[in-house]
């Protein structure tokens, strides 16, 4: 039952990624060309609402559906891993035109060549795991 809830949330997410065109290579290309407000509007409005939401959750100590306090863990403090990892991710995002959420969405939408992107994203994750302790973090 609990798992079904997450499937439904995922379905909503997939529909949103497809219909808002955030899953379109063209929208990502256009975003990096600064030719349209569209992607900035999506991320920006999600962020404004997200910041408000999390402030309210923290201030009023809101509880989850299971009665537990909602906690959002802080991320580990560092600079290099976020900067280097971020740049590498950005290079791939602009090349493949898809980040992980849209990769799944596009499989469902029937663009099967995206399976190659998924396969190599898994491979990239694996290679990171293998050499992680040799990289600056």
Partner 1 sequence: MEWIFHPWPWYVGGPMIALIMFLLLFFGKNFGISSNLRTFCTICGAGKSNEFFNFDWKKQQWNLMVSAGAIIGGALASHFLSTDSSVAIHPDTITKLQDLSINSAGKAYLPEELFSMQALLQPKVLLILSIGGFLVGFGARYAGGCTSGHAISGLSNLQLVSLYAVIGFFIGGLFMNHFLLPHIL
Q: Which of residues 40-69 bind partner 1 (CB under 8 A)?
A: 40-47, 49-51, 53-54, 57, 64-66, 68
Q: Nearer to partner 1 by C-beta: 33 or 60?
A: 33
The verdict on 1 binding partner 1 (CB under 8 A) reads no
d(CA 85, CA 137): 9
CB of 109 vs partner 1, minimal distance in Å: 4
d(CA 11, CA 17): 10
Which member of 1, 16, 60, 61 binds partner 1 (CB under 8 A)?
A: 16
d(CA 79, CA 71): 24
CB of 27 vs partner 1, minimal distance in Å: 6
What is the DSSP secondary-structure string of 35-66?
A: --SHHHHHHHHHHHHHHHHHHHHHHTT-B-TT
The footprint of partner 1 on this chain (CB under 8 A) covers a number of residues equal to 114
């Amino acid at each position: 039952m609990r798992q079904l809830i997450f499937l439904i949330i995922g379905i909503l997410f997939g529909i949103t990624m497809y219909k808002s065109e955030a899953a379109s290579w063209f929208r990502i290309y256009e975003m990096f060309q600064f030719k349209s407000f569209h992607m900035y509007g999506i991320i920006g409005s999600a962020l404004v609402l997200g910041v408000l939401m999390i402030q309210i959750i923290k201030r009023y100590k809101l509880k989850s559906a299971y009665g537990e306090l909602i906690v959002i863990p802080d991320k580990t403090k560092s600079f290099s891993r976020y900067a280097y990892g971020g740049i590498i991710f950005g290079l791939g995002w602009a090349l493949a035109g898809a980040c992980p959420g849209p990769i799944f969405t596009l499989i469902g939408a029937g663009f099967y060549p995206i399976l190659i992107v998924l396969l190599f994203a898994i491979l990239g994750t694996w290679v990171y795991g293998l050499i992680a302790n040799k990289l600056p973090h």
